Structure 1
């Protein structure tokens, strides 16, 4: 799994937001379709379990800056 974030400009304060996305990578090395995890997140981190399930954890960029996560294939 590849997780990345993109800074996207906008016209209202704080003038940008960070969109976190993920893509699965097959055993042959091909990339799957990008899936948006959040449009309000930063510092995404990935972990996996032996059952091949991934967990992505990130901090919400806007107040109250909570920690969010999602689990998937």
Structure 2
């Protein structure tokens, strides 16, 4: 359960950085080519993150049995 909580915190941090990253004028931590400035790119990112989260939760659930 601790691994799942840490994964969800990390994923939500990435989503928050994606949403608030456009307010920063110069990003020191992330590469400038990794920013998603389009709505379609943001939707693709959120959808892939959702599938990844469901996959990890399913994998952890099956591994615990």
Using structure 2 for the length normalisation, give the TM-score: 0.31
- Bigger relative CO (Cα 8 Å, ≥ 6 apart): 2
Using structure 1 for the length normalisation, give the TM-score: 0.29
Q: Which has the higher strand share?
A: 1
